[in-house]
Amino acid sequence: MREKLTAISMLLISVILASFSFAAAQEQDAPPVYVIKRGDTLWGLSERFMKDPYYWPNMWSANEQITNPHIVYPGQKIKIYPDRIEMVENEEGGSEKAVTVKAAEIRQDVVQERTFPFRGNEGFIIENGTKPFGRVVGIHHDRVVAGMEDIVYTDIGTNHGGRAGQKFAVFKEEEMVSHPADNIILGRRIIPLGTLQLTDMERTASRAIITATYKEVEADAILLPYKNVNREVVLKKAMREQKGYIVASNSGTRILSAGDIVYIDLGRNQGVERGNMMYIVRDVKIDRKYTQGRVGKIPQELQGAIVVLETGHNTSTAIIVKSIDTIYKGDKLISQTR
């Protein structure tokens, strides 16, 4: 009888030890939890924990608790996994390891939401049906090009609504831009040259002075009403899913990378807004002779990301903010809202 009780006791001890070991293993494997402090942003949290500030749209779209892309609230908790960050919906007991953050580390975490400068020299696609306000028709002393504070002449007069002191942006027309999927003409690529201000007016012409230059101004440059473009663009979540293409670049080159300005085939009419982030993706092509009809669509490859700087009706100007691999004109774009 004593031997039987001893065996039962040993069995109970083994079960208890096994349960304790399992619980300890669970405790050890539990992801660390970070309590959000005042001033934390999705950008900063992604940069700190994922070493990738551009991860934040994934975190946002996967968590319904985050209703504003720029604000997370003190006291909210996030679980830190090796490959992702998740919001903690409810208190789940004491099995989570709280991350202790020193005061100095907290100050480092209080970062401003990332913004992107829009200076006005990025250019855009002047869409079909849009006409310039006027043109540069000549340069003082019959010079070929004009620079800062040089005198030029325009075909804008009082009959056209022009007035002394009025400012215009000066652009050079480049090639027509066609869509990579169906070759439909979207418009013409135009490159900013600078700005000018009208000084002396006639009915159908005017004298003007060049007030700023990005590049030399030539005769026949087009003029559009000046807008104050020294602005910063803040990341903003897309309100609807989008699919589009990179149709051209500011440089006119086909091969692109991070920092390059590009033009896309989506604009305000498609719901695109300044600050929207979109992912650059590429279809994967494989030799179908090995699939034997068993494989359907292959997941697309992620190539990078863009942020929209300025929108037109059906096109937009954007900057490539991340390139995982070489990016090409004609690459596809997607945005995700969930």
Tokens of 236: 């903003």
SS (H, E, C) the chain: CHHHHHHHHHHHHHHHHHHHHHHHHHHHHCCEEEECCCCCCHHHHHHHHCCCHHHHHHHHHCCCCCCCCCCCCCCCEEEECCCCEEECCCCCCCCCEECCCCHHHHHHHCCCCCEEEECCCCCEEEECCCCCCEEEEEEHHHCCEECCCCEEEECCCHHHCCCCCCEEEEEEEEEEEECCCCCCEEEEEEEEEEEEEEEEECCCCEEEEEEEECCCEECCCEEEECCCCCEEEECECCCCCEEEEEEEECCCCCEECCCCEEEECCCHHHCCCCCEEEEEEECCCCCHHHCCCCCCCCCCEEEEEEEEEEECCCCEEEEEEEECCCEECCCEEEECCC
Higher-confidence position of 183 and 104: 183
Q: Is the pLDDT of residue 21 over 70?
A: no
- Statement: residue 126 has pLDDT above 50: yes
Structure tokens at 230: 């020294």
CA–CA dist 175, 263 (Å, integer): 13
pLDDT of residue 90: 54
pLDDT band at 239 (very low <50, low <70, confident <90, very high): confident
Q: Which of 3-7, 45-49, 54-58, 222-226 is modeled with the greatest confidence?
A: 222-226
> Which pair of structure tokens corresponds to residue 141?
């002393």
CATH number, domain 124-225 = 2.40.10
Q: How many CB atoms lie within 10 A of CB 170?
A: 30
Structure tokens at 45: 């949290």
Spell out the residues 6+ positions from residue 145 whose beta carbon is closer than 8 angstroms to its own. 139, 216, 217, 218
* Tokens standing for residue 202: 């006639």
Topology adopted by domain 31-113 = Membrane-bound Lytic Murein Transglycosylase D; Chain A (3.10.350)
Give the pLDDT band of residue 124 (cuts 50, 70, 90).
Answer: very high
More confident residue, 84 or 271: 271
CA distance 313 to 119: 20
CATH architecture, domain defined by 235-335? Beta Barrel (2.40)
- To 5 degrees, how large is the angle CA 102–CA 106–CA 109? 140
Residue 281: pLDDT band (50, 70, 90) is confident
Whether 235-335 and 124-225 are alike in CATH topology: the answer is yes
pLDDT of 102:
33
Q: Hey, where are the domains in the chain?
A: 31-113, 124-225, 235-335
Mean pLDDT check: name the lowest of 31-35, 41-45, 185-189, 331-335. Answer: 41-45
Contact 41, 112 (CB under 8 A): yes
Annotate 8-47 with b (16+ C-beta within 10 A) or e (fewer). eeeeeeeeeeeeeeeeeeeeeeebebbebbeebbbbbbbb
Task: Please check whether residue 232 is in contact with residue 204, taking contact to mean a CB–CB distance below 8 angstroms.
Answer: no
